[in-house]
A and B are shown apart, each in its own frame.
Chain A
Amino acid sequence: MSAALRVAKDEWRYWLRSKLALAVVGLFVLILLAVSLLNAVRMHEESHQRAHHQTDSEQTFLSQPDRHPHRMVHYGHYVFRAPMPLALFDPGLDSVTGQTMFLEGHRQNSATFSATSGSADLGGLSWLTPAMIFQIFAPLLIIVLGHSAVVREREARTLATLLAQGVSGRALLVGKLLALLLFVALLLLPLIVSAAFSLGRGESLSTASFMVGVYFVYLAVWVGLTLLASALLQQRSSVIASLAAAWLVLTLVLPAVAVNVSSQIAPLAGKIETELTMLTEVRDVGDGHDVDDSVYNNVEASLLEEYGVDRIEDLEINIRGVLAQNAEADLTDTLNVYAERRMNAEAHQAALLGWHGWLTPTLAVADASRALAGTDLAHYHRFLRQAEDLRIGFVQSLNRVHAEELSYIDDINRNRDEESWERARVAATNWQLDEFQFQPASTSTRIANAGSSVSMLLTWLAALIALLLWNGGRLKP
């Protein structure tokens, strides 16, 4: 063990003398700080802005004057999703998904205005986030620093001396591994700071520590790859060339290739396409605006029977409100079937994409990171579902008010003259709304969601360590 520690210490001494290494690390830290700062400012602004819009929108809804309850159904309401605490580090899908949604009766609108849709277009890699820097660029740092670890000793013929002096091949590799892992730990300091910061914003300690752990494992995978190449190949130049090629393929090529493969194997029908398919079905549900629609004749009959009266005018409640409730419920059932189907198709496609994490640890860490940060597809779908719950909640409460607070006679005569128009209203005290606050999944769910990606990373790491130990046993000068 002491031999390994000595090797590790020597490695560090070597780095500290290398200008290139110091320059590269310095540059990395600089970029990382700049990006983290920019991202933090943007998040802060957006979070502030969305919270402001949310309260604004709630207040406007509640301060609407007395009116016909169905008017409020169409008046609608907005929800905004505030960023998650760890989005500070990994904004994930937030930049490509809409964060604003208009809720109204009879429709499920899409989330609109993603950040990308309005931003300047400067190529695929211009959306730098702190997470992306760790996923794509930190490995480069490890390669630059670590590629020479073994091969340097081999080229300078010091490897033979070391082995002859009784330092075993394994101890040598373990020493170099320790040196690089300590470097990785230092590299993670900015992430640890972000994670600590997110604790103050309500993130749980276990999610935050898991996040740090996942990136540690990911970077350890790169340490393993780097050391393996350094131990196996004969020349420093071929070590760096093959590692750089591996980096290109694993971080840039394969994730994008996986996108093409997934979209070809499991193509998604767009929202309009789904809507058109659904329309035929929705038409069968009937139109809640129209009392004479044959679909509702039996509702009428059963209401008349329940209240023991002969004419709908004699009912204690307004049948139009009841019908609106029924229609909205039926329509929502249909809409939800299609919405769920679409979300499942998306999740299926994403799972297919995630499976490529077996081929490249970069995809695996990106998936795990988003899952932990709560900026993944599952959380986007949670947002859509919670918005829908809010929508159906306020629409049905308005329909209930329509049935119970507005008399049928006033309702059907509302267009007769100005006075009837005034009479067909209910008091503004009936406008009620649940405050919208996006509820992220629990810590355990998020960690479970990251599970399969984490197991891919651990498999990568285990395989590389096994290869290293095997190679250490037969390390030759």
Chain B
Amino acid sequence: MRGLLKFFIRTSAFINKEVREIVRQPRLVLSLILGPFLILALFGIGYRSEAPVLRTVIVVPNEPALVNTVQQYAPSFGEQLKIAAILPDTQLSALLTSQDPATASQRQAAANDLLAQQRADLVASFPPDAARTIESGKAAPFIMYHNTVDPVRDQYVGWFGSVYTDAINRVVLMSVAQNAQGSTGNLQEDMANIHKATQDTRAALDAGDRARAAQSAQQIDQSSDQLVMALAGSVGLLAGVQSNIGGTSGQDAQAALAAAQRLRQQSGTLSQSLSTSSGAATQEQKNQLTQIEQDSANLEKTLATFNRIPPEVLAAPFANKTENVASIRPNFVTYYGPGVLALLLQHLAVTMAALALVRERQLGAIEVFRVSPLSSFETLLGKYVSYMLFCIVIAVALVALLVFGLGIPLQGGIWPPTTMHLLFVSLTILALIAASLGIGFIISALSNSDSQAVQFSMIVLLASIFFSGFFLSLDSLYGVSRIVAFLLPVTYGIRALQALMLRGQSPTLPDMPQIMSADVTVWSISFGALVIGGLVFFVLADRFLARSFKRA
């Protein structure tokens, strides 16, 4: 009992000392709380998440029609395209769109000159002989040049280029659709002829005039021949769309084409049977005529539908619309808030702990401790508890500032604590701090000087920024990077705090028994990893410190 009491007294020696030392540095405490808050606030005020506008020089072959088309359609390509200049220059466009490797350096020099002269971000060039290239069965190259060393911007321009190209292709498709719709005027005429000839055939058959019926059926046959030929091209566009997305029954373009072909076949058969037979019309001939009437009616309806569809819809049948069903509407400050909190707490804990034992060693105190009855475990535990208390104070202040100052959501609310949500946020933060302190104490036990400890802490911070999923997705990390990511407490801290604060995912008390079963949430996994990591790091730190305490 007496031994246990002394254990507590010895451990509390460090708690008292560390707390007093920290309290004597109010500026440090203030900067630790206000610093990150101000940075995040500035980030929220100053950061614009819109895609950057690209000043673009468009080089086109010197053909008035093409220049007009570009001038007409380019402004409709979106706000991110700002036209710096449209240069009609056939020779330059030929050079810039050339695929010849021998002219590569010449092309790059020309593009760089244009970017510099026009102070542009992008040079886009049309090929001078696009039609011939397409006729030869190849896609015409639409080439874009930019000069950046920023991989994100590089990716953005690449994406932007594909958007440009799609827009150009859409313009061409729209034109095709317009032409197709224009040709449906002739189709309407053919349909009217078929309709009239069908009525005449029916009247002649009803009147028992076989010769006139045969003549009218021949008229149907001729008109349906023309119809099928014209229809194959103009309804093809709609058929292409419907074959990809699935048309509605009886109205799709494929059915229309099939109906036209059937119409031709049956009208031919009817015409022939009426010409070669005699006497009254047979029931089969009447049925054939009925089928012809139905098919022509369907065809007429399909053509009317096709004509009603605007060409731009035919060229781009789908419009993009997204809807986020998350419980909060994300913005950058909101999303990064929990990440900043986790990153900051880890860095604070790692740095403080990293310096803690190094300073004792440099001061010579470890030697005094070695002579005294103190153990490495008591020393470590005392420092652990004191830094834990300090980090908790900082965490509470930071959470309050983030929630009330920057409006970062805390799903489940703070008061009244009916959902136990705040408890889980607190547990997460505690586990994160404990695991981070463990890393810091390991660094401290292995470092020989202040600067070495700070360097190691900075390396941990750098690794955390890159590998924790703070701003690069964990899904993009492979191999060793992924292992590093999963060794960092902040990786779990960010996931757990985002799950809790932004999504409100946490086990409620009645769910607790299910945590270890199938209903394992992101929070549960992350929290478990933090707890295990914290224990492992503590044991490792104690082992390393015990080496410093080893007597003889």
Q: Do A and B come from one complex?
A: no
Q: List the interface of chain A (C-beta within 8 A of B).
A: none
